[in-house]
Amino acid sequence: MEENLSSEKKIKSLEDEIQRRRAFAIIAHPDAGKTTLTEKLLLYGGAIQLAGHVRARKDRKSTKSDWMTMEKERGISVSTAALQFEYEDCCLNLLDTPGHQDFSEDTYRTLMAADSAVMLLDASSGVEPQTIKLFHVCRERKIPIITFINKMDMPALDPFVLIDDVEKTLNISATPMFWPMGSGQDFKGVYDLKNNMVHRYERVTGGAYRAPDSVSGLDDPELKSMMDEDLYHSFREGVELVKDGLSDFDMELFLAGEITPVFFGSAITNFGVELFLKRFLELAPPPAEINLKSGGSLIPKSEDFSAFVFKLQANMNRMHRDRVAFVRITSGKFERGMNVSVARLKKQVKLSSPVAFFGQERSTIDTAFPGDIIGLINPGLYQIGDILYTGTVPDFHPLPRYAPEMFARLVPTDTGKLKSFRKGVTELSEEGVVQTFSSQDGSTIIGAVGQLQFEVFQFRLQDEYQAPCRLENLGYECSRWIKEEDIKKFSSYDLILRDEKENPVVLFKSDFRLKSFTEANPEIEIFEHPPG
Ligand code: G4P
C-alpha cells in the first residue's frame, strides 16, 4: 500500500508537468556573458560535466560531431537548439540563440518558442545594439523579460545609470530586485530588496565552484566594516531610493512585458546566479494559453496534443544526412510513436524517432510536455510554421517572417550543377537560412537580416549541394511588404520584388529613404511582415 502511494506520488499529472516547465531564451549582445551564464545555470541544474560543452561548442576546442563544417572552421554557433535541465522541481528548456555578432532570422524565430527571456547586459556597457533588436522581438510577442546585469566584478557603470539606460533605450519600466554593493575590485555583493537580505560576495579563484553565500540583514554592523565609508553610504542611499519601487512591481505588467525586474551578479564567479535562478523560477511563467486566430485560445493542459515547427536544420549529422525539425509543444502530452496530423499537409504521421538535444548530442525521448522542444527527423516533410496536432487543429497565428536588411543577386557559377543548385536554393530557403525573392528580370535575389546568413547559405550550397554560386550585393538596406495596388506608386529609386508566395516587396536604398517615403506618402500602407 505504502509502496503504491509513493509511486503514485512520483507520477505527475499533465498539469503538474506544465506548471514546472519554463521555456526561455537568453538575449544578449555578444560578449555580455551568455555562454558563461548558460554554463552556470547548467551547473546549478546538476549538468556540471555537460556545462563545459557549451563553451567547447563556442571555442571549438572539442566537438564530437562534425556537422556544419563552417561552424567548426569559424568558431561560431550557427545552429540553434534547446538545452533541457532540472533545478529543484522545475524543468527548464533553455532555447539556445547564437551569440555571434551577426545574427539571423533563426535567432528571431527561436524566440517564438520561448515563454520568457532573460536579457543579459554587461554592466560596463549597458544596453547594446543586438540587445535592442532581440528585445524588440520579445516586446512584439509581449513575453516577460527579466534583466540580469552581469560582470559586476569588473568596473561597472553606476547602477542608476544602468537602470535609466534600460528604461530610456528600451522604453520599458525597470524595477531592481537586487541592489549591488559596489563593483569591480570593490564589489561586495548584492542586497535582495524583496527578502531584505544581504548576500556577500567572496572572491574565489577559478569560478568553478558554487560561490559562497552568506546572508545577514541590512543593519548588520559587519556590513559597514566591509565597505569604505563612501561606498557604504552610496549603497545605503541607493537602497533607500529604489526600495519603494518594489511595491510598484506589478506581476501582470511584468507578464505582459511592460516591466522588467533587474538583478545584478557576476556569472563568471557564479555570484548571484543561483539567487537569480531561484527568483527567475518564481517570476517566469510556465506555458500559458495561446491566442488563436479564430479568437479562442489553446489551453496547454488540453488532452489534445499540439506543437509547431519553429526551426529546421538540414544535415545535422553527416553520417545520416538527415534534416531535423525543431518542434515546440504547446498542448497535451507527447508520447513516442504517437500519430499526429500535419495541418498543412492534411496528413497523419507517426512520430517514431523524436530526439532531445544537448548541444550537439542527441538522445531519444519517450514523453514530452508543453514547453518542451523536441527534434523530429524530417525527411523533407515539415516546413517552418507547420502545426502538428491530434483532435482539432489549433489555428495559430503564423510565425512572422522578418523584413530582410541586405540583399544579393544569386548567380550559379557551375552551369553543370543547375539541378542541385535549384534543389539547394529551395531546401535552404524552406529551412529559413535566407529568404528568396524574384525580380522582374527573372533573377533570384536572396535576403537576410545578417551577413552571416549569406555566408552560411553560400557555404552550405557549395558544401551540401556541390553548387557553387556568386553573390552580387544589391546595395539596398531595408524592405517592406506592400499591397498589389500600390506597386505603381514607387519610383525607380526603389526596387520591387516578389517573395516566395508572389507577394510584392519593395526594397529601399536606406532607412532614410524608407522614412522619407513613408512621411511623404502616409496613405500607402507598408508592412514589416508578409501578409497571412
Ligand atoms: P557571450 O557568450 O555572450 O559572447 O559571452 P561569454 O560568456 O563568452 O563571455 C565573454 C567574455 O566575458 C569571456 O571572456 C568571459 O569569461 C567573460 N565574462 C563572462 N561573464 C563574466 C563576469 O561575470 N565577469 C567577468 N569579469 N567576465 C565575464 P573572454 O576573455 O572572452 O573568454 P575566456 O577566455 O574567459 O573564455
Is residue 480 helix, strand or coil? strand
Domains of the chain as residue ranges with CATH: 23-90+98-285 (3.40.50.300), 291-389 (2.40.30.10), 406-527 (3.30.70.3280)
Query: Structure pTM?
Result: 0.83
The pLDDT value recorded for residue 63 is: 29
CA atoms within 13 A on the CB side of 34: 24
Write the CA distances from 433 to 9, 107, 406, integer angstroms: 46, 11, 13
Distance 30 CA to ligand 1 centre (A): 10
- For ligand 1, atom 36, the nearest C-alpha belongs to 55
Distance 166 CA to ligand 1 centre (A): 21
Distance 96 CA to ligand 1 centre (A): 17
Cβ-contact 408, 446 below 8 angstroms: yes
Distance 231 CA to ligand 1 centre (A): 26
- For ligand 1, atom 9, the nearest C-alpha belongs to 33
The pLDDT value recorded for residue 11 is: 65
Q: Does the structure show a pLDDT above 60 at 331?
A: yes
Q: Does the structure show a pLDDT above 80 at 96?
A: no
- For ligand 1, atom 35, the nearest C-alpha belongs to 268
Atom index in ligand 1 nearest the CA of residue 150 equals 23
Q: How far apart are CA 329 and CA 366, in angstroms?
A: 14
- For ligand 1, atom 24, the nearest C-alpha belongs to 151
Atom index in ligand 1 nearest the CA of residue 39 equals 7
Q: Going by DSSP bridges, is the β-strand pair 306-314/387-389 parallel, antiparallel, or unpaired? A: antiparallel
The pLDDT value recorded for residue 76 is: 36
Residue 68 makes CB contacts below 8 A (sequence gap 6+) with 78, 79, 315, 316
Q: What is the pLDDT of residues 143-177, one digit of tens each?
A: 999 999 999 999 999 999 999 999 999 999 999 99
Does the Cβ of 31 fall within 6 Å of ligand 1?
A: yes
Cα 453-457-461 angle, rounded to 5 deg: 175
Does the Cβ of 99 fall within 6 Å of ligand 1?
A: yes
Does the Cβ of 56 fall within 6 Å of ligand 1?
A: no
Cα 288-294-296 angle, rounded to 5 deg: 40
Q: Report residue 357's pLDDT band, with 50, 70 and 90 as the boundaries.
A: low
Test site for ligand 1: of 26, 27, 31, most ligand atoms within 8 A of the Cβ? 31
Atom index in ligand 1 nearest the CA of residue 32 equals 3
Strand partners, 505: 481, 497
Distance 122 CA to ligand 1 centre (A): 10
Does the Cβ of 150 fall within 6 Å of ligand 1?
A: yes
Average pLDDT, the chain: 84
Which of 11-15, 47-51, 92-96, 293-297 is predicted least confidently? 47-51
- For ligand 1, atom 11, the nearest C-alpha belongs to 31
Which of 35-44, 55-64, 148-157, 442-451 is predicted least confidently? 55-64
Does the Cβ of 480 fall within 6 Å of ligand 1?
A: no
Does the Cβ of 107 fall within 6 Å of ligand 1?
A: no
The pLDDT value recorded for residue 2 is: 42
Cβ-contact 421, 458 below 8 angstroms: no
Q: How far apart are CA 299 and CA 292, in angstroms?
A: 10
Test site for ligand 1: of 26, 27, 34, 36, most ligand atoms within 8 A of the Cβ? 36
Does the Cβ of 28 fall within 6 Å of ligand 1?
A: yes
Strands ordered across the beta sheet of 214-216 = 178-181, 189-192, 197-200, 214-216
Q: Mean pLDDT throughout 69-82?
A: 47
The pLDDT value recorded for residue 1 is: 41
Does the Cβ of 268 fall within 6 Å of ligand 1?
A: yes
- For ligand 1, atom 14, the nearest C-alpha belongs to 31
The pLDDT value recorded for residue 278 is: 94
Q: Does the structure show a pLDDT above 90 at 375?
A: no
Most confident of 63-77, 351-365, 396-410: 396-410
Q: What is the pLDDT of residues 458-516, one digit of tens each?
A: 988 998 899 999 999 999 999 999 999 999 999 888 999 999 889 999 999 998 999 99
Cβ-contact 389, 306 below 8 angstroms: yes
The pLDDT value recorded for residue 377 is: 81
- Torsion angle of C-alpha atoms 345, 346, 349, 354, degrees rounded to 10: 60
Q: Report residue 221's pLDDT band, with 50, 70 and 90 as the boundaries.
A: confident
Q: Does the structure show a pLDDT above 70 at 205?
A: no
Residue ranges with strand state E in 98-241: 116-122, 145-150, 173-176, 178-181, 189-192, 197-200, 214-216
Atom index in ligand 1 nearest the CA of residue 28 equals 3
- For ligand 1, atom 7, the nearest C-alpha belongs to 33
The pLDDT value recorded for residue 321 is: 55
Helical segments of 193-260, H only: 221-226, 229-243, 251-255
Is residue 68 helix, strand or coil? coil
Q: Report residue 279's pLDDT band, with 50, 70 and 90 as the boundaries.
A: very high
Atom index in ligand 1 nearest the CA of residue 154 equals 26
Does the Cβ of 154 fall within 6 Å of ligand 1?
A: yes
Q: What is the pLDDT of residues 186-198, one digit of tens each?
A: 898 999 998 888 8
